[in-house]
Each structure stands twice: as structure tokens, then as C-alpha cells.
Amino acid sequence: MIVFIYSKNVAASMNAMRRLLEPAVRRVLHFYWRFARGLTLGVRALVVDGEARVFLVRHTYVDGWHLPGGGVEPGETLAQALARELLEEGNIELAAPPPMLGFYYNARISRRDHVAVYLVREFRQRGPLAANREIAAGGFFHIDGLPPDTGKGTRARIAEALGGAPVSAEW
């Protein structure tokens, strides 16, 4: 009789422990799957003003000049991420939904990184960009006068959109 009561208590304890641990185990597995199988997704904007100049930013954490943009957050659409990143990195507000220029595989970042690039022609800049912890500088540049340290992927996207270069699937 004592063994039966003990077994019942052990079984009840095991069920309670499983119910308690299951959410934590599920979270750990989802975290693992994010890195083992998941993709990363980013957006960038090729912002072109009325003088055919492009807007570029220089980050505080990486060398060179790049198209503004960043990662798409969970629960965020590409359009929402693009609008947020343009405000954060360039003080730029979209005036109309921009067309997608292309979708690129960015193996230089990781073998699971993809970037959607939009061609932005209808926008307004709320005011001059103030440097912050993420963005060291930003500005509009003529395509024949890009800073010498403009990134290779940035140059390729500009050439595709504004120079008639063939479109690549890779950043």
C-alpha cells in the first residue's frame, strides 16, 4: 500500500514538473530553431531625391557608406520596417508606398540573411540628420560622386536602379 501511494505521488509530481517545464523547454527549442533553421530579413532603401542624388548613411559600428535600413522586427511588415528605419537613420518620412527594387541573398552577413530593397522617390526629410549612437553621418550624394568607401552592395544596387546594370540575386 505504501508503494502504491508513493507511486501515485511520484506520478503526480512528474506531471506537475512536466507542466511547469514544458513552456520553458518550448522557448529554448524555438530559440535554437531560430538560429539553426531560421532566416534573417532586412530592408534597405535606395532614396533618390529630385536632383538624382542618393541618400547614404555611415554607421558607428561598421566601416563605409551604405543604404539606410535594418532588420525586420517580429510582427512587423516589410513596409513598417522600412518606414521605421528611414525615420531612425535619415529623418526621412515616406510620402507614398515605394516599389520594391529587388530581394537579395546577403551571404556576406550570414548564410541565412536576405534583404528587400525599395526604390524611394516620394519622401520628405523632416530636418537635418543628427548623429546618434547608430548613425555617425548621412547625406545625399550624386551617383558619380559617391564617397570612396561606399560599400560594394550599395554601389551594385545604385548601378542596378539608376545605371542600367543587370540585377543580381546576391548582395
Give one word for 13, left, alpha or beta, with left for phi > 0 and alpha for psi -120 to 50: alpha
**Residue 57 lies in domain:** 40-162
| Single-letter amino acid, residue 158 | I
Total domains in the chain come to 2
Answer yes or no: is 91 within a domain: yes
Calpha distance 114→66 (Å, rounded)? 16
**171 occurs within a structural domain:** no
Same domain, 12 and 73: no
Q: Mean pLDDT across the chain, nearest whole number?
A: 87
The whole-number pLDDT of residue 112 equals 83
8 with 55, same domain? no
Decide if 96 is inside a domain. Answer: yes
The answer as to whether 30 is a domain residue is yes
27 and 75 assigned to the same domain: no
Q: What is the pLDDT of residue 39?
A: 81
Count the alpha carbons within 13 Å of 75 in the hemisphere toward its beta carbon. 0
Instruction: Give yes or no: residues 4 and 26 share one domain.
Output: yes
pLDDT single digits (tens) 41-82:
999 999 999 999 999 999 998 899 999 999 999 999 999 999
pLDDT digits (tens, 9 = 90+) for 85-104: 999 999 999 999 999 999 99
Residue at 60 is within a domain:
yes
- Is there a domain that residue 167 lies in? no
Answer yes or no: do 31 and 103 share one domain.
Answer: no
Domain identity same for 78 and 154: yes
What are residue 111's DSSP bridge partners?
A: none
- Same domain? For 68 and 15 the reply is no
Cell numbers 540628420 correspond to: 129
Integer Cα distance of 85 and 7 in angstroms: 58
Distance between CA 47 and CA 64 in Å, rounded? 17
* Same domain flag for 85 and 145: yes
Q: Output the domain CATH number for residue 107.
A: 3.90.79.10
Angle CA(22)–CA(28)–CA(30) in degrees, nearest 5?
A: 100
Mean pLDDT of 127-143: 92
User: Is 110 in the same domain as 33?
Assistant: no
- Give yes or no for a contact between 57 and 135, defined as CB atoms under 8 angstroms apart: yes
User: DSSP alpha helices (H): ranges in the chain?
Assistant: 2-36, 78-90, 152-162
Residue 72 lies in a domain: yes
The whole-model pTM stands at 0.77
115 and 58 share a domain? yes
Q: Which grid coordinates belong to 42? A: 532586412
Same domain (yes/no): 6, 62: no
Name the nearest CA neighbour of 64 among 148, 171, 143: 148
